């Protein structure tokens, strides 16, 4: 009788182990592609160029990782406010689009290690450079309505000391007004501001940030094997110089 019970327990153990196995990496390799979810308007991380092709820093990273995994990367634009639901619903395999790692998001998804540091920075004209947050006192400051910059400025005591805070529909509009002299400064996500400035080099940016944010690649909680393989590829890219080449392509030296 004891032998029968032991055998039954062993069979159940094998069944449970098989049922709960993490086949995420094998599934990706089997279908030959990884579907990357993104908001295709977030330059320079992932956006459409003039020809309508999805390009960007994260796009290059994802393509290189896919190559090292022996698969291809397929990019699927999603609504940003619902992108983690698309991930959970298996409409996409990962989110790779400048997603800031937060406690709230870590409850919903499994993240890679941070691969990029960002933050809300102050951009100003070179002849009147603003380098510190305190220097915004008495200044006319622009930012995008409802953005991380909007939240960061509102939480900072300096918001009570500015001359005026002007809110725009887009960061580009704010930065154009800065160039035109209608603003003293713009608080914007560093990657957005630096990419905008890389085309004209007309602006200066602060050494002090209002916030520090870290980007990570998001996966389903259960997809540890897939996540670990992507992390391994990213680590290899940093060691062999591939990561730095992609950084230089999009952000300069």
| Residues 38 and 44: beta-carbon distance below 8 Å | no
Mean pLDDT for 151-162 is: 93
pLDDT at 20: 64
Lowest mean pLDDT among 8-22, 186-200, 205-219: 8-22
Q: How confident is the model at residue 171 (pLDDT cuts 50, 70, 90)?
A: confident
d(CA 178, CA 172): 10
Q: Please state which CATH number belongs to domain 23-117+214-251.
A: 3.40.190.10
95 backbone dihedrals φ, ψ, rounded to 5°: -115, 120
Residue 6 has pLDDT above 50, yes or no: no
| Mean pLDDT, range 212-228, rounded to an integer | 96
| Span 96-135, pLDDT tens digits | 998 888 888 899 999 999 999 999 999 999 999 999 999 9
Question: SS3 letters for 135-189?
Answer: HHCCCEEEEECCCHHHHHHHHCHHHHCCCEEEEECCHHHHHHHHHCCCCCEEEEE
Q: In the chain, where does the domain assigned CATH 3.40.190.10 lie?
A: 23-117+214-251, 120-211
């992390």: which residue's tokens? 231
The pair of three-digit structure tokens given for residue 160, joined into one six-digit string? 């009570």
Say if residue 10's pLDDT is above 60. no
pLDDT of residue 3: 52
pLDDT at 145: 83
Confidence class for position 18, pLDDT limits 50, 70, 90: very low
For the chain, the C-alpha Rg in angstroms (whole number) is 22
Query: 120-211: which CATH architecture?
Result: 3-Layer(aba) Sandwich (3.40)
Q: How far is CA 138 from the centre of its chain?
A: 33
Q: What is the model's pLDDT at position 129? A: 96
The tokens for 52 are: 């309508």
């Amino acid at each position: 009788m004891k032998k029968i019970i032991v055998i039954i327990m062993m069979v159940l153990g094998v069944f449970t182990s098989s049922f709960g196995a993490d086949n995420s990496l094998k599934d990706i390799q089997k279908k030959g592609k990884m579907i990357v979810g993104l908001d295709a308007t977030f330059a320079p991380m992932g956006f459409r160029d003039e020809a309508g092709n999805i390009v960007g820093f994260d796009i290059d990273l994802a393509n290189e990782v896919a190559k090292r995994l022996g698969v291809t990367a397929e990019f699927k634009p999603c609504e940003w406010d619902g992108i983690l639901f698309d991930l959970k619903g298996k409409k996409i395999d990962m989110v790779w689009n400048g997603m800031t790692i937060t406690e709230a998001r870590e409850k919903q998804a499994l993240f890679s290690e941070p691969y990029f540091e960002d933050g809300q920075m102050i951009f100003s004209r070179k002849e009147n450079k603003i380098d510190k947050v305190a220097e915004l006192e008495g200044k006319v400051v622009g930012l995008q309505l409802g953005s991380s910059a909007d939240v960061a400025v509102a939480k900072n005591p300096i918001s009570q000391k500015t001359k005026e805070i002007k809110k725009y529909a887009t960061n580009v509009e704010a930065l154009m007004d800065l160039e035109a002299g209608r603003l003293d400064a713009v608080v914007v996500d560093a990657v957005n501001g630096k990419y905008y400035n890389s085309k004209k080099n007309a602006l200066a940016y602060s050494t002090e940030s209002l916030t520090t944010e870290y980007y990570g690649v998001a996966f389903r909680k259960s997809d540890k094997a897939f996540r670990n393989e992507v992390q391994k590829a990213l680590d290899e890219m940093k060691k062999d110089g591939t990561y730095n080449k992609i950084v230089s392509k999009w952000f300069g030296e």
